[in-house]
């Protein structure tokens, strides 16, 4: 039986699904520049945002595409009764839907050097495909081992002493 190696830890999955407010990235707006990664652990290339869904206006059942029966679970959740756990219904008998605390909608980008438009979600897991904020390399996120990433380690390490080198003439540089 073949096995598939998953390069991410459970902690990273939990972080990607619901980051603390301090670490949430605001959604880009049309014409903003972002990074875009096509393949797992592939290089990130520059892209321009073309379309972002309007989340501020709330969810409407008419927003569903043909064939869809539920809202995007990466963006919306059913509002539930705190005591019974049952969905809260509106006046028409439809379940009320509210925005997730850390939504992950699909945005559309134009990638430099690639034809057409490309739609994707934010790449929140280490090396995953998707769009990335411009400062993604400096942002803290939990790593696979004890929550450390290269950026975190670089921020904690003291300045390293300059290493001396000897030139061909025998001088120290």
Cβ neighbours of residue 98 under 8 Å, at least 6 residues apart? 59, 76, 77, 78, 79
For residues 7-45, b (16+ Cβ closer than 10 Å) or e, as one string? ebbeebeebbeebeeeeebebbeeebebbbbeeeeeebe
CA 101 from chain centre, in angstroms, equals 14
The answer, as to whether pTM is greater than 0.75, is no
pLDDT tens string 50-109 = 999 988 888 888 878 888 888 888 899 889 988 998 889 888 888 888 998 889 999 999
Query: Is residue 36 within 8 Å of 120, Cβ to Cβ?
Result: yes
- Cα(first)–Cα(last) distance of the chain, in Å? 57
pLDDT tens string 122-156 = 998 888 899 999 988 888 777 665 555 555 555 54
């Amino acid at each position: 039986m073949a096995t598939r190696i998953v390069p991410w830890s459970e902690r990273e999955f939990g972080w990607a699904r619901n980051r603390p407010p301090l670490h949430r990235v605001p959604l880009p707006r049309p014409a903003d520049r972002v990074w875009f990664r096509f393949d797992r652990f592939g290089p990130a290339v520059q892209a321009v945002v073309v379309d972002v869904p309007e989340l501020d206006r709330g969810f409407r059942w008419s927003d569903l595409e043909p064939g869809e029966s539920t809202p995007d679970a990466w963006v919306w959740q059913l509002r539930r009764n705190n005591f019974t756990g049952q969905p809260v219904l509106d006046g028409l008998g439809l379940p009320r839907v509210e925005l997730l605390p850390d939504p992950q909608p699909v945005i559309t980008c134009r990638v430099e050097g690639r034809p057409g438009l490309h739609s994707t979600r934010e790449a929140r897991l280490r090396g995953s495909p998707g769009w990335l904020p411009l400062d993604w390399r400096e942002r803290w996120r939990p790593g696979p081992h004890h929550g450390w990433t290269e950026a975190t380690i670089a921020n904690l390490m003291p300045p390293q002493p300059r290493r001396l080198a000897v030139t061909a003439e025998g001088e120290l540089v």
